Structure 1
Amino acid sequence: MIAILLLLFAALAAADPCPPITPDPALRPNFTIQAPAFAWNVDKVRGVTLGGWLVLEPWITPSLFASKPDWVVDEWTYAAYWRTQPCPAAELAAHWKSFYTAADFQRCGGAWDVTDGSIAGVGLNTVRIPIGYWSLVPLTSGEPYLPGAFEYLKLAVTWAAASNLKVIVDLYGAPGSQNGRDSSGRRGEAEFYSNWTNAERATAAVVALATEFAKPAYGGAVATIGLLHDPRPAAAWQLEWLRGYYNATYYAVRNVSAVTLLLGSAGPLGAWEGFMRPPAYQGVGISEPILPMLDPATLQYGATDALRYICGRNDTLARSSRNLWTVVEMSAASTDCARWLRGRGVGAAYDNASAVRYPASCADRSGSPGGFGAAYTATLGAGFETQTYVYEQAASGWTFCCWNTEAAADWSFALGLVYGWIPVPITAKPHGKPCNFSSFIEAGGSRAAVPGAGALAALAAAAAALLAL
């Protein structure tokens, strides 16, 4: 009877149509080389973001969304759709297993060589890997997400360690969404700021990362953990609330790890002057996204003024770097033409002749690089060289979005190498010395109001008291 039952169970297992979602243990490399030591504010971050992998974004991997109903616009709705289907995680697991592999990380030759085809091989020293809270802490009632990405993140860190790459693990999605964008996991309202339970769950997610990657098995590859990617507080009290979350999470992480922590900037960089400074705080930086194509004002610029604008960020970044180590998120793209960049079903402002000073069509501004003309390729190249020059001179470096995309070539570092708008070596300046202008365009603007110091102190004290419970 026992033998018959065992045979029955084996037959049922063999008949299971749903493949496993976890990675094959054999993919974990055997390595003894630790990733090289990285001294923030001394060594320059030259990194690339592995976007669209462990946090879905429709513009990076449109193939995962194009066949779904129109209401599937982010990872929340993607998971909700699949929850009604057989083998809910099958497609997502296949994506995790294939969109990035060890080959993307590894450096095969001694010299930098575009034919090497790897992140380490072309001279980058850092990978930035987005992750969502739903992969790190238990889900609550009503959250449809499909967990499992944490196992692939662990695997990716071993690939980085074996390739002498450092890792920034960045919390892209917080409970409720910190910015209302699909990159946070849920498009719509930014409800992260609605109750402190959201902050506590986000803190727990960061602590889970810090605890895991403090283990010797990872070779010290995780140099930095981002506390929250691209927060968008809509009012002064929400910005104070965000600072309270940062303060609480800092102390929670320091109970388990000395890893460098990266704040997500909100509002002008000057609003963070004096926040979380040493000696009371150690190992803190700030991430500043500079993506002019997403701002209606800077999208208006032609090629020359776009470069003058980047050069005009020098002084602001230098001041910020004296306050908190500052790393910039950047792209070579100069338009918002990538399909669904502003969200699934949302068009590009650049393709509207009345919306831009120098109207043009998106037809030769994204998609296949074979359709790019010489002028646009030169614009991409000069943009990359100018940005990396400024961000290494005035800040702690940069991370480029992204290494790989399905249909947005102007956002792809790998394709930029192949088609020539990213030079080899990546520090070369074939377009001449950057910022060789008689004047720059000073950067201004604000994403949020600056809160009062008294309210911030009260909120930080409340956060510390909550942690002490």
Structure 2
Amino acid sequence: MQNPYYKSGHRSGLDSTVNSEFDDNLDKYRELKTESFLGYLNRGNPEGSGSPVPSLPGLSERILHPEANYSATAYYTRETSEALNQPISTPNPSHYHPQHSANGFHRDPLSDEYRRASPATPFADTPTRDTRALTPLIIDPPTAISRHSHYTVGSGLGDSSETEGLRYSGMSFGDQPLRSRVNRNVKPSRRKRAIFIVCIVIVVCTCAIIGLVIGLITKNKGMNNDTDGVARLPRGDKLWGVGGDTITTDKGNKFLYNNTLGGTWVGIPYNDTARPQGNQPALNERWDYSVNKIIGVNLGGWLVIEPFIAPGLFDPYVQEQNPPSDEWELSLRLGNSMAKTIEAHYDSFIVEEDFAQIASAGLNWVRIPVGWWMIETMGSEPFLAGVSWKYFFRAIVWARKYGLRINLDLHAVPGSQNSWNHSGRLGTTGFLSGAMGIANAQRTLNYIRTLTQFISQPEFKRVIPMFSILNEPDVTLMSSKALVSWYYESYKLIREIGGIGEGNGPFIVIHDAFQGIGAGGPAKNRWSGFLQGSDRTGLDSHTYFAFTAQLSDVNATRPCNAWAARSNQTMEGFGLSMSGEWSLALNDCGLYVNNVGWGQRYEGTWPNATRPDRRFPKVGSCDQWLDHRKWSDAQKKGFADTASASQDALINSFFWTWKIGNSLRQDFPPNPMWNYKLGLEAGYIRPDARTSTGRCAALASEYQVPLTTYEWSGTLASWQTGGAGAGNISQSQIDAVGPFPPATILGGAPNGQGSYNTQSLPQLAPTGSPLILKPIPIVMDSKTYSGGDGWFNNADKAGFFAPINGCTYLDPWSGVDAPAPAACNSSSTQSKQQSTANTSPSPLRT
């Protein structure tokens, strides 16, 4: 049945024939009596290149051709010499991804099981920087047969003749000795002693070569490029594989990669060939925003700490009169133990296995919120400066390993963009509002510049192809004129760094500032037609039921009627539409969901029982929503249907959030309606998110209910995805947006209802030194790899915004009604206000 919310033909869905056909053929392949062994890596040359194909992963300064497209490893039978050159055939190979091997399956020699073939050999595509002149590394090893490892190295120079005595079939390394295929029926003639001696010499030399190659490769457990130009491979450790493999983490822990959806993993540094599921594009393949559906999850509460996601950090203070309710106050309350406690949270809350489980659940993107303190802090800001960068970089490594794309979300900025605790500090809004509103916005542009320079590098742009530049700005606390001018200033900055067109810098995502999405002119949707012609700009709307009219029933079609038509209208009227946050919460029941010590709308006690908000009368008790163990099977099915319907209706979406930490106050997981991981484990979220496609239409049929529908064309305009016309914004639109800084911003009167003339406000000047995030070296044992230098565009030489000598600056969180200090002269010299910048952490070990 066609999904009424968009043309299903324009969406890549799960091909149900793949898994069924895979199961049907297992028995057939198990009946094969011929012994299988690893054949050639049938590579050929990169398309359009006359150079020979490298046969080892290009790492560090030896990097492979970035556009090379090599075929996957194949398995052959040993029965006859003819069979050696014929892959095991598989019916209907077209069901599999076009870059899978032609035979579709491969056999694990240890388990005698057949798996779907891996994508193009994972070491065949490693990004290269345009400024480097690199020489491919080519090694042509002798024949070896592995019974253990998926990782292989071959000559890449074509097949050798079977009559050669030694046949190059690729090399891999396991626990068993490597064996050469030698024709044992050929014996030397006594009458041809000279020939015999020559043969002996050849054999001895060949064995010496084998020994030398094995010695070079197994000398170190890790991989590296030494000055001799030889990549050293680990003996007994896999560097890439598929579902069912045992993964060893950087801490030595092991877990099963339980991906049954055709996903692959690649542990080779800076290699982009992994894919989360079999029908999803690998990182080195094009993501088509008209066709490929983002089904993602947030890693909330990890690098920006929130009480309801990490309640155990706030529980010890909850009985105090004024308990901490944000990361700012928590950092102050922790005192001397702050650095140790916060980093312990970073280190344990999200680990590598989480990324593996995300890919195994049919999800293909992660949205990672970060705060500005990942880059630096200034003045009295109490956050742990720079340390979260180490863990964000780990996230890049893990996302790359499992083929997941990252939407980088700048979640918290100086001054706060909405006054809520997840902006770093609860209280007033000082971003584009109040006496420090312009200075805070200029400072935020510094951080956008730093992050853009990093993620635009070729080593990272395919893993982080999207940048959400500001989370949830509240336009009711700042003027819309000020916000759109800052959006356009950020857009120009990002495009000046990365360039115009697909693949040049990230897809830019702006939040709707709670103005909503949908169709119509400015009266209905302020964002329809905004910056038409802009290059790759998406609109994010956070779709929650929890904070409006409180609900007490699980109605799976509710998301379909609430969001589907609007999402499609936005895809048509604006461009890429997504929900960067949504959840299963029907109401605001939960531990610290509203804030530490606050009540619930559902129980009529919000914000507190003494003076509740009369707009939210009591609906009932929250008890039934707090503990998932009490939910009936019918309730669990209702939640599972609601989750699938939401993913279908929103088209592109990120659930908030992947996991919720434990609380010291209860012996069961808190906030289950916000916990995707728990939903998978407890059965109230389906195990494969890809099955959500078409769910709204199916539910409408099942429950016999009408749906609000709107069908878009199914294809974004070329300019909206970086094609023809991208970046052509008319001058009339630019004039309508206006310059940054705007002439006025809110503030300057009681409750911030007045306005400031921005020329009278303290501003920063572009005289500062650049803030550069350095890639963290990746270490395998004692060997180190690094990618890029943190700065993509060397032509970007303008100074960063910095304080001006002689200017008086208020606290960045000063009230919006604070009187403006004396105006600043932007031609003054830079002051020496102290900054605690990001320092380079120790290398990341893997």
Shorter-chain-normalised TM-score: which range?
A: 0.7 to 0.9
Q: Is the 1:308–1:440 Cα contact (8 Å) retained in structure 2?
A: no
1:24-423 mapped onto 2 (5 Å cutoff) = 30-31=268-269, 32-34=271-273, 35=283, 36-68=285-317, 69=320, 70-82=322-334, 85-106=335-356, 118-136=357-375, 138-147=376-385, 148-194=387-433, 195-218=437-460, 220-234=462-476, 238-257=479-498, 258-266=505-513, 267-269=515-517, 270-278=525-533, 281-295=534-548, 297=549, 299-300=550-551, 302-304=553-555, 307-308=557-558, 310-322=560-572, 323-328=574-579, 329-352=581-604, 359-366=619-626, 368-392=627-651, 397-406=652-661, 407-423=670-686
List alignment gaps of at least 5 residues for structure 1: 1-23, 107-117, 443-452
Say if 1:196 and 1:25 are closer, same or farther in 2 by CA, change over 3 A.
Answer: farther
CA distance in structure 2 between the aligned counterparts of 1:48 and 1:309, rounded to whole angstroms: 17
CA distance in structure 2 between the aligned counterparts of 1:375 and 1:177, rounded to whole angstroms: 42
When the two chains are superposed, the root-mean-square deviation of aligned CA atoms in Å is: 3.1
Give the aligned length. Answer: 412
Q: Is the 1:243–1:456 Cα contact (8 Å) retained in structure 2?
A: no
Q: What SS does structure 1 have at the residue aligned with 2:539? A: strand
CA distance in structure 2 between the aligned counterparts of 1:300 and 1:457, rounded to whole angstroms: 44
Deviation readout 1:165-214 (Å, 9 max, x if unpaired): 00001011111111111111111222212221111121211221111122
Q: Is the 2:583–2:674 Cα contact (8 Å) retained in structure 1?
A: yes
State the AA in 1 paired with 2:389: F
State the AA in 2 paired with 1:272: W
CA distance in structure 2 between the aligned counterparts of 1:425 and 1:58, rounded to whole angstroms: 29
Q: Which stretch of the first structure deviates more once superposed, 429-438 or 158-167?
A: 429-438
User: 1:4 corresponds to which residue?
Assistant: none
Compute the displacement of 1:441 (Å). 7.5
Compute the displacement of 1:324 (Å). 2.4
State the AA in 2 paired with 1:50: L
Q: Is the 2:418–2:472 Cα contact (8 Å) retained in structure 1?
A: yes
User: 2:10 corresponds to which residue?
Assistant: none
Q: What SS does structure 1 have at the residue aligned with 2:482? A: helix
Return the structure number with greater relative CO, CA threshold 8 A, min gap 6: 1
CA distance in structure 1 between the aligned counterparts of 2:304 and 2:543, rounded to whole angstroms: 21
Say if 1:358 and 1:463 are closer, same or farther in 2 by CA, change over 3 A.
Answer: closer
Q: Which stretch of the first structure deviates more once superposed, 190-199 or 34-43?
A: 34-43
CA distance in structure 2 between the aligned counterparts of 1:385 and 1:344, rounded to whole angstroms: 31
State the AA in 2 paired with 1:168: N
Q: Is the 2:489–2:740 Cα contact (8 Å) retained in structure 1?
A: no
Compute the displacement of 1:135 (Å). 1.6
CA distance in structure 2 between the aligned counterparts of 1:454 and 1:216, rounded to whole angstroms: 35
Q: Is the 1:127–1:168 Cα contact (8 Å) retained in structure 2?
A: yes
- Choose the corresponding residue for 1:433, options 698, 702, 709: 698
Say if 1:312 and 1:369 are closer, same or farther in 2 by CA, change over 3 A.
Answer: closer
Q: What SS does structure 1 have at the residue aligned with 2:698? A: coil
Q: What SS does structure 2 have at the residue aligned with 1:47? A: strand
Say if 1:388 and 1:371 are closer, same or farther in 2 by CA, change over 3 A.
Answer: same
CA distance in structure 2 between the aligned counterparts of 1:432 and 1:277, rounded to whole angstroms: 32
Compute the displacement of 1:463 (Å). 4.6
Say if 1:464 and 1:180 are closer, same or farther in 2 by CA, change over 3 A.
Answer: closer
List alignment gaps of at least 5 residues for structure 2: 1-249, 254-265, 274-282, 499-504, 518-524, 606-613, 662-669, 710-730, 744-764, 767-797, 800-846
State the AA in 1 paired with 2:676: F
Say if 1:432 and 1:326 are closer, same or farther in 2 by CA, change over 3 A.
Answer: closer
Q: Which stretch of the first structure deviates more once superposed, 26-35 or 144-153?
A: 26-35
CA distance in structure 2 between the aligned counterparts of 1:461 and 1:44, rounded to whole angstroms: 35
Q: Is the 1:301–1:357 Cα contact (8 Å) retained in structure 2?
A: no
User: 1:7 corresponds to which residue?
Assistant: none
Deviation readout 1:28-73 (Å, 9 max, x if unpaired): 9533234243222331111000000000110001001111353311
CA distance in structure 2 between the aligned counterparts of 1:456 and 1:219, rounded to whole angstroms: 28
User: 1:461 corresponds to which residue?
Assistant: 739
Say if 1:425 and 1:391 are closer, same or farther in 2 by CA, change over 3 A.
Answer: same
Q: Is the 1:248–1:460 Cα contact (8 Å) retained in structure 2?
A: no
Q: Is the 1:261–1:283 Cα contact (8 Å) retained in structure 2?
A: yes
With the length of structure 1 as denominator, give the TM-score of the two structures: 0.80
CA distance in structure 2 between the aligned counterparts of 1:462 and 1:381, rounded to whole angstroms: 45
Q: Is the 1:247–1:463 Cα contact (8 Å) retained in structure 2?
A: no
Compute the displacement of 1:86 (Å). 2.1
CA distance in structure 2 between the aligned counterparts of 1:404 and 1:245, rounded to whole angstroms: 33
Compute the displacement of 1:369 (Å). 2.3
Rg larger for: 2
Q: Is the 1:265–1:287 Cα contact (8 Å) retained in structure 2?
A: yes
Compute the displacement of 1:372 (Å). 2.4
Say if 1:26 and 1:169 are closer, same or farther in 2 by CA, change over 3 A.
Answer: farther
CA distance in structure 1 between the aligned counterparts of 2:531 and 2:733, rounded to whole angstroms: 16
Q: Is the 2:399–2:406 Cα contact (8 Å) retained in structure 1?
A: yes
With the length of structure 2 as denominator, give the TM-score of the two structures: 0.45
Q: Is the 1:339–1:347 Cα contact (8 Å) retained in structure 2?
A: no
Q: Is the 1:309–1:440 Cα contact (8 Å) retained in structure 2?
A: no
Q: Is the 2:302–2:345 Cα contact (8 Å) retained in structure 1?
A: yes
State the AA in 1 paired with 2:623: A
More helix by share: 1
CA distance in structure 2 between the aligned counterparts of 1:271 and 1:349, rounded to whole angstroms: 29
CA distance in structure 2 between the aligned counterparts of 1:51 and 1:438, rounded to whole angstroms: 35
CA distance in structure 2 between the aligned counterparts of 1:142 and 1:26, rounded to whole angstroms: 39
Identical-residue share of aligned pairs (%): 24
Q: What SS does structure 2 have at the residue aligned with 1:250? A: helix
